């Protein structure tokens, strides 16, 4: 082989190395530098050329060697960044959500009442006037209806059941439950959305209520009071007391407002509660007219009912200082993540 032929082979190999940029370091190593590698063989052949040409060939051969070294280093870096994993790095935790506080409260309330034999039911949240008002001893045009700031639905009224409304309270479940079961014993806990035309720091237009209804022979106010005391201790913690004060509802007689003792001052009176008590909702003995509307004989059966808002009940819990219940529905994660 002449010197110039040899140099030509060197430059051919240089071109080949350039084209092989996509090969891995191991492949390059084997193809060019292995015992049968193209560079290894060519380097050996230098002894075959005229000694006076060897000097000339030495330089490009050296360049080819450096070029190969660079190509192998580049291939190493290339493969490492793609596949190399540092197992000692701390992992990135995926964001985990949780159940909305009101859903948590609903589950808790359901649990408290089903443990003492109540059955959780759900009734329509858009319902006929009959179930929301009239069957509850509130005839059309009765002034007591004004208290429930009602949304009316633009829908053809039913001849018997009247207009359609967004349910203003869960009491619409009372006569529906009597109809469903046909006869006592009734132990219902009805939890649903309610709607009223009012919105401020303590009211949202959509809110939740839970309603208890118990009907059987010989049910008295003592059963009602015992149930309220049981709920107070279970939901707010041991030592919480309930109190009932005379009030008026069309669908209960007698009727009461329900208070729970303040957990901060144990009923002594503080800045938070002022009187030692928090008012939460209403209750009473089911009115004979309501039993009749549900097809039950008020001379045989008596019952009690209670009902109030979940948002308010929940925000009175120990350690929750929520001064604007609208926040519960703001979708603000910084707020919701606290619960």
| Residues contributing to the site for ligand PHE (CB under 6 A) | 169, 171, 211, 249, 252, 281-284, 305-307
Query: Rounded to whole angstroms, how far apart are CA atoms 307 and 316?
Result: 16
DSSP secondary structure of 253-318: EEEEEEEEE-TTTTTS--TTTSSSEEEEEEEEEEPHHHHHHTT--TTT-EEEEEEEEHHHHHHTST
Distance of closest approach, residue 239 Cβ to ligand PHE, in angstroms: 26
Q: Tokens 């004989």 appear where? A: 297
Q: Is the dihedral of CA 318, 319, 325, 330 positive or negative?
A: negative
Query: Nearer Cβ to ligand PHE, position 6 or 207?
Result: 207
Distance of closest approach, residue 211 Cβ to ligand PHE, in angstroms: 6
Contact 21, 14 (CB under 8 A): no
Query: Nearer Cβ to ligand PHE, position 17 or 134?
Result: 134
Query: Nearer Cβ to ligand PHE, position 132 or 273?
Result: 132
DSSP 99: -
Distance of closest approach, residue 282 Cβ to ligand PHE, in angstroms: 3
Query: Nearer Cβ to ligand PHE, position 169 or 243?
Result: 169
Query: Rounded to whole angstroms, how far apart are CA atoms 33 and 69?
Result: 10
Contact 207, 170 (CB under 8 A): no
Distance of closest approach, residue 265 Cβ to ligand PHE, in angstroms: 26
Query: Nearer Cβ to ligand PHE, position 101 or 281?
Result: 281
Q: Tokens 């052949």 appear where? A: 45
Query: What are the backbone dihedrals phi and psi of residue 189, each rounded to the nearest 5 degrees, phi first?
Result: -125, 115
* CA proximity to 260, closest of 237, 283, 280, 274: 280
Query: Nearer Cβ to ligand PHE, position 6 or 314?
Result: 314
Distance of closest approach, residue 212 Cβ to ligand PHE, in angstroms: 8
Q: Residue ranges of the alpha helices (H) in the chain?
A: 3-19, 25-28, 38-44, 51-83, 101-114, 129-132, 172-181, 221-236, 288-293, 310-315, 333-336
Query: Nearer Cβ to ligand PHE, position 163 or 168?
Result: 168
Distance of closest approach, residue 99 Cβ to ligand PHE, in angstroms: 25
**Beta pairing, strands 186-195 & 119-121:** parallel
Distance of closest approach, residue 188 Cβ to ligand PHE, in angstroms: 11
């Amino acid at each position: 082989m002449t010197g110039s032929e040899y140099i030509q082979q060197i430059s051919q190999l240089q071109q080949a190395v350039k084209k092989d940029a996509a090969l891995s370091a191991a492949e390059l190593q084997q193809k060019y530098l292995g015992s049968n590698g193209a560079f290894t063989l060519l380097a050996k052949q230098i002894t075959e050329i005229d000694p006076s040409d060897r000097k000339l060939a030495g330089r490009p051969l050296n360049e080819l060697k450096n070029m190969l070294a660079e190509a192998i280093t580049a291939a190493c870096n290339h493969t490492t960044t793609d596949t190399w994993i540092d197992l000692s790095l701390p992992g990135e935790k995926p964001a985990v959500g949780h159940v909305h506080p009101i859903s948590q409260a609903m589950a808790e309330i359901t649990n408290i009442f089903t443990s003492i034999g109540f059955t959780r039911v759900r009734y329509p949240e858009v319902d006929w006037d009959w179930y929301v008002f009239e069957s509850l001893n509130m005839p059309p045009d009765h002034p007591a209806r004004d208290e429930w700031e009602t949304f009316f639905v633009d829908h053809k009224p039913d001849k018997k059941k009247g207009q359609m409304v967004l349910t203003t309270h869960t009491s619409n479940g009372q006569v529906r439950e009597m109809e469903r079961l046909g006869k006592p014993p009734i132990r219902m806990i009805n939890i649903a959305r309610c709607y009223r035309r009012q919105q401020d720091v303590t009211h949202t237009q959509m809110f939740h209520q839970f309603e208890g209804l118990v009907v059987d022979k010989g049910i008295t106010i003592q059963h009602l009071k015992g149930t309220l005391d049981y709920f107070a201790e279970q939901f707010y913690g041991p030592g919480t007391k309930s109190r009932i004060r005379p009030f008026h509802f069309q669908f209960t007689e007698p009727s009461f407002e329900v208070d729970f003792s303040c957990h901060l001052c144990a009923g002594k009176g503080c800045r938070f509660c002022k009187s030692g008590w928090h008012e939460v909702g209403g209750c009473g003995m089911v009115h004979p007219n309501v039993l009749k509307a549900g097809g039950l004989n008020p001379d045989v059966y008596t019952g009690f009912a209670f009902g109030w808002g979940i948002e308010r009940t929940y925000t009175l819990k120990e350690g929750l200082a929520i001064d604007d219940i609208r926040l519960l529905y703001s979708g603000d994660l910084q707020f919701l993540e606290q619960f």
